[in-house]
Amino acid sequence: MVREYRDRIYIRKDILLKLYEYGEMNQSKLMSICGLNNVKHKGILDDMLEKGMLELEKEPWGNKTILKYKISQKGITLMEEILNPYEEFFPREDQNVK
Could you read off the pLDDT of 78-92 as tens digits, one per residue?
Answer: 988 888 888 788 887
Q: Is the pLDDT confidence value at 98 over 60?
A: no
Domain ranges of the chain: 8-89
Query: Which numeric CATH code is attached to 8-89?
Result: 1.10.10.10
Q: How far apart are CA 87 and CA 8, in angstroms?
A: 13
DSSP state of 91: P
> Which pTM was predicted?
0.79
What are the backbone dihedrals phi and psi of residue 25, each rounded to the nearest 5 degrees, phi first? -150, 155
Q: Dihedral sign, CA of 33, 34, 40, 44? A: negative
Q: Is the pLDDT confidence value at 4 over 90?
A: no
Q: How far apart are CA 74 and CA 33, in angstroms?
A: 22
Report the candidate in 16, 34, 18 with the shortest Cα–Cα distance to residue 80. 16
